[in-house]
Every structure is written in C-alpha cells, then in structure tokens.
Amino acid sequence: MKKIGFIVDSFSCLSKEEANQKGFGYFPFRLDLDDKVYEDGVDLSSKDILEIIDKSQDYKTSLPRLDIMEEVISQMSKEYDDVIYLPISSTLSGSLSAANNFRSEFSNFHIYDNQYVGEQFLEVIKYIKREYEKGVSLDIIFEKLNDFQKDTIVYILPLNLDYAIKGGRISGVKKFLLKAFSKVKLVPFIKFANSQNSTAGIARGTKGAIIQIVEKIINFTNLKNIDEINQKYNLYFIHGLDQEFNQMVLRIVKETKLEINSSKLNSGVIAVHTGPEAISLSIMPKINQD
C-alpha cells in the first residue's frame, strides 16, 4: 500500500514535539519579540510564548526558515510516496509560496491551500489518509475538502485590538475602524471564511460578542436544533491566557448545549496578530463519520 505523509506548521497549534509524535513533519514560524527571535512550537511551550508576547512592546512574525523546510521535505519525500503540506491560508501568509519553491525538486511534494485552523487539521489529515488509502486521487480529495470548507467558518474575538491593528493582516480601512472601535469601547469580532477575514459584528462588551458569535455559528449551519448540529459538526475552541475570559466563553457555549469537540491553547504565530488573550470558535462538518 502506498504511504502518505503530512507536514503542518505552528498555525495548527501543535508543537513540533506533538506533530512529530503523530508522524507529521513540522515547519515552525519565527516570532520576533522585542528583537529576540523564537521558533514557534519549538523553543518554548505555547503558554510561555504567549506570556512573552503579552509583555513585548514589539512583535512580528516571519516565515519558517527555508533550510528547515527543505530538510523536512527532503526527508519525508524519501520516506513517503506522497507528502502533503497543509499551510496557513495563502491569503494570510507567504508560507505556501515559500514551500512552492521546492515542488520542482521534490515531485511527490504537494501543497493544499486551505482555510482550516488549529486541530481542524487533524480531521483533514485523517480524511485525506483514509481516502488516499482507498485509492482516491489527491485532486479529487482536495476538491472534496474544498466543498467541506464551504461549511466551515472561524470566528476570532481579540480582547486587545492593538495586536490586530499592528499585526499586518488587515487593510488600512479596517485598521482605522478598529482604532475607532477601541476608542468608543466597542468590541468587534472577526470572521474567517472563503479565505478572507472581515469584521463579522460589533458588541458593547465581550459577553455580548461571545453571544453573537455563538448565535452566528448556530445560524450558519442552517440546522433546526442543537442536537442535529452536535451530530453533524465539530466545534473547536482555541483560547488564550485570560482564564476568566475563557470560562465565560465555555459557560455561554454550554448554555446553548453546543458541544465543544476540541479545546487548544493558541499558538504564538496566531497570538502575535490577535493577542495572547484572544479566543476563536470555529465549526466544520464531521468529515470522518462513517
């Protein structure tokens, strides 16, 4: 039977150790925090790196080192018949473009551009592996995953808008609006869908924003009741350092009877652009149900 291997990066919210334990290759993004560079998911735990981001005055991210990317691709291309890299969306990062430089050298190296985040990648990998071992072509698998993405949505709620404003992932007009929101104490939240991020709503407080996000997730499914949503969708929770904020999210979700299927601490590469206290709630179809 042909073997397929996978490479993820720190956008998966996995550390290098966690990824390697699952048999995955790993590309660590670099974090420049007050002029000291860290490899995300490698040098420190997620909690430690979030605490450093919280104390930093200057913060930015950069792509994984090309020599590390080449080494990982080379090693895995020898070990597997096909190797797939699942990067952060090309609309948010140049990591796909950087990895694309190696495709001519390694003919069995493939890249799947996507809008998944965090532990959603584990479900995607499980699906790809299952279909691949059935003999389904990668092109058809990727087409099916693209269909699943239409039923996938990610919401992000930052507590501190400075990170979103400085992070470089939003346009000048949106930065202006975020600055205006912060001055009048309004709380905007962000939606990532169809490979685009946008302001999805505005609330007068964090509790109101969480309630709006949960309502939007429920409405997004177009299903009649919560039990049906729990049966057909996975709900993912990525959280930051603020435990009071995290518990508020969990309490509001629990009140709706939605089931959270995955809870994971944020990664540094995301936190630099959203803040170390930011949370994300996202939903995707249960693609591995028999």
Q: What is the pLDDT of residue 182?
A: 52
Domain final position from 116, 145, 174: 145
- Tens-place pLDDT, residues 107-130: 999 999 999 999 999 999 999 999
Query: Could you tell me the residue range of the domain that residue 106 belongs to?
Result: 4-145
The answer on pLDDT for 53 being more than 60 is: yes
**Number of independent structural domains in the chain:** 2
Q: What is the pLDDT of residue 269?
A: 94
Arithmetic mean of pLDDT, 212-232: 96
Q: Are residues 91 and 140 in the same domain?
A: yes
Q: What is the pLDDT of residue 19?
A: 97
Q: Are residues 161 and 116 in the same domain?
A: no
The verdict on residue 58 lying in a domain is yes
Q: Are residues 118 and 188 in the same domain?
A: no
- Tens-place pLDDT, residues 139-170: 999 999 999 999 999 999 998 877 777 754 44
Read off the CATH number of the domain in which 197 is found: 3.30.1180.10
Confidence of residue 176 (pLDDT cuts 50, 70, 90): very low
Arithmetic mean of pLDDT, 178-193: 69
- Tens-place pLDDT, residues 57-85: 999 999 999 999 999 999 999 999 999 99
- Judged by average pLDDT, the poorest of 21-25, 189-193, 204-208, 274-278 is 189-193
Q: What is the pLDDT of residue 196?
A: 67
Q: What is the pLDDT of residue 163?
A: 79
Residue 184, by phi and psi: left (phi above 0), alpha (psi -120 to 50) or beta?
Answer: alpha
Distance CA 130, CA 245 (A): 38
Q: Are residues 262 and 280 in the same domain?
A: yes
The verdict on residue 290 lying in a domain is no
Cβ atoms of 139 and 131 closer than 8 Å: no
Using a 10 angstrom Cβ sphere, with 0-12 exposed, 13-18 middle and 19 or more buried, the burial of residue 275 is buried
Which range scores top for mean pLDDT: 21-30, 171-180, 187-196?
21-30
Distance CA 54, CA 106 (A): 40
Distance CA 121, CA 11 (A): 9
Q: Are residues 29 and 47 in the same domain?
A: yes
The answer on pLDDT for 188 being more than 60 is: yes
The verdict on residue 219 lying in a domain is yes
Could you tell me the pTM of the whole model? 0.90
Cβ atoms of 204 and 186 closer than 8 Å: yes
Q: Are residues 82 and 208 in the same domain?
A: no
Q: What is the pLDDT of residue 171?
A: 45
Q: Which of 16, 122, 114 is nearest to 64 (CA)?
A: 16
Domain final position from 114, 145, 176: 145
Q: What is the pLDDT of residue 107?
A: 95
Q: What is the pLDDT of residue 9?
A: 95
The verdict on residue 184 lying in a domain is yes
Distance CA 57, CA 54 (A): 8
The answer on pLDDT for 218 being more than 90 is: yes
Which residue type, as a one-letter code, is found at position 21?
A: Q
Q: Are residues 140 and 261 in the same domain?
A: no
Read off the CATH number of the domain in which 27 is found: 3.40.50.10170
The verdict on residue 23 lying in a domain is yes
The verdict on residue 21 lying in a domain is yes
Residue 42, by phi and psi: left (phi above 0), alpha (psi -120 to 50) or beta?
Answer: alpha
The answer on pLDDT for 178 being more than 70 is: no
The verdict on residue 90 lying in a domain is yes
Q: Are residues 227 and 124 in the same domain?
A: no
Q: What is the pLDDT of residue 195?
A: 65
Q: Are residues 135 and 179 in the same domain?
A: no
The verdict on residue 117 lying in a domain is yes
Q: What is the pLDDT of residue 187?
A: 83
Q: What is the mean pLDDT of the chain?
A: 91
Q: Are residues 212 and 247 in the same domain?
A: yes
Distance CA 94, CA 100 (A): 10
Q: Are residues 65 and 189 in the same domain?
A: no
Q: Are residues 64 and 22 in the same domain?
A: yes
Domain final position from 128, 145, 162: 145
What DSSP string describes 41-94? TTSS-HHHHHHHHHH-SSEEEEPPPHHHHHHHHHHHHHH-SEEEE-PSPTTT-S
